[in-house]
Amino acid sequence: MPGRDAIVATAGESIGRGSKSFSAASRLFDRKTRERAWLLYAWCRACDDLADGQDHGHRMMAVADAEARLEAIRLRTAAALEGRWVGDPAFDALRIVVEETAMPHRLVWDVVEGFTLDAAGWRPSTEADLLRYCYHVAGAVGCMMAVVMGISPDDDSVLDRACDLGLAFQLANIARDVGEDAAAGRCYLPEDWLAEAAIPRDRLMEDRVKLAALTRRLTDRAAEYEAQARAGTPALAFRSAWAVLAAAGIYGDIARKVAQRGDAAWDSRVTVSGIDKLGWIVRSAAQAFGRKQRYANANLTTRIWQRPR
């Protein structure tokens, strides 16, 4: 059976193929945190690919055996949480990171619940529904990453900020992937938003001007959560704060570019250039140095959604 180093190496390859943005930001962590971040990513990526029939997040397609795929995720995840050798590098990666960080199992199962929602063909009726979904597929991962970075699982104030960043990332994903999701028979825009804009769910892409205006609500929400997430960085070590702030800026650019493109947002996939990523890495170093003064007094009294406890 492969040892830890081999599983870490495989996880590093996975993040490099699956997300160049996250891969770039992860290089800013100290080695121990970076390796654990890769291990966590590998499990998330493998579950997502298994659920959607993808290859490292590419070529999404409708699957005919969603329940069987979900059961495979559950069984392999349960084995990993029990400390058993799974024989799948991504699920053995989960076993390692949970053991090394004392990760609460409830957070792991919160993420699996997101795949359960997708397998059931669930769609949001309201914004609150949308945010609950975003929590399960990304906010809970943000909480897990906070634990990877050494935050106590009982520190709700910091985990809330980590959840905020996950929500920001997922809202950006949904805005960017509206067209790709529609082609796969999915739509994560709330029913009441669609009704208000008079956009039929089954003809989502026909009026891109209306759709762009509606998607702007997603990107505006993403910006709000990105700003809130930054307030958690004073609790982090410098290199972890640097990585988080770089990721927030890089991924935030996806939402900003979708908004800027308007009705042309889905003509081609929105990406962030290497130069722009480097720019965020440089700017985020200065932000991380001054994080305790810059972010400690951020106004977080207005909350539009509350993380499950």
Model confidence over 215-237: pLDDT tens digits?
A: 999 999 999 999 999 999 999 99
Contact predicate 134/171, CB 8 Å: yes
| Residue 285 belongs to some domain of the structure | yes
Q: Domain of residue 164: give its range.
A: 123-298
- Amino acid in position 47: C
The residue behind tokens 């609790």 is 235
- The residue out of 71, 103, 135 marking a domain boundary is 103
CATH code: domain of residue 230:
1.10.600.10
Between CA 191 and CA 125 the distance in angstroms is 5
Q: Tell me, yes or no, whether 217 and 294 share the same domain.
A: yes
Burial 65-82 (b: 16+ CB within 10 A, else e): ebeebbebbeebbbbbbe
pLDDT at 75 over 80: yes
| Residue 307 belongs to some domain of the structure | no
| Residue 309 belongs to some domain of the structure | no
Model confidence over 46-55: pLDDT tens digits?
A: 999 998 776 5
pLDDT at 63: 62
Q: Tell me, yes or no, whether 282 and 160 share the same domain.
A: yes
Q: Tell me, yes or no, whether 133 and 79 share the same domain.
A: no
Domain count, the chain: 2
What's the start-to-end Cα distance of the chain, in Å? 37
pLDDT at 59: 55
pLDDT at 62: 59
Looking at residues 268-274, what average pLDDT do you find? 93
Confidence of residue 58 (pLDDT cuts 50, 70, 90): very low
Confidence of residue 129 (pLDDT cuts 50, 70, 90): very high
pLDDT at 184: 82
Looking at residues 95-122, what average pLDDT do you find? 93
Q: Tell me, yes or no, whether 294 and 162 share the same domain.
A: yes
pLDDT at 195 over 90: yes
Q: Has this prediction a pTM greater than 0.75?
A: yes
Q: Tell me, yes or no, whether 151 and 198 share the same domain.
A: yes
pLDDT at 294 over 50: yes
Confidence of residue 290 (pLDDT cuts 50, 70, 90): very high
Tokens at 271, concatenated? 């990406």
Between CA 305 and CA 286 the distance in angstroms is 30
pLDDT at 55: 57
Q: Which of 172, 173, 146 is nearest to 159 (CA)?
A: 146
Between CA 126 and CA 190 the distance in angstroms is 5
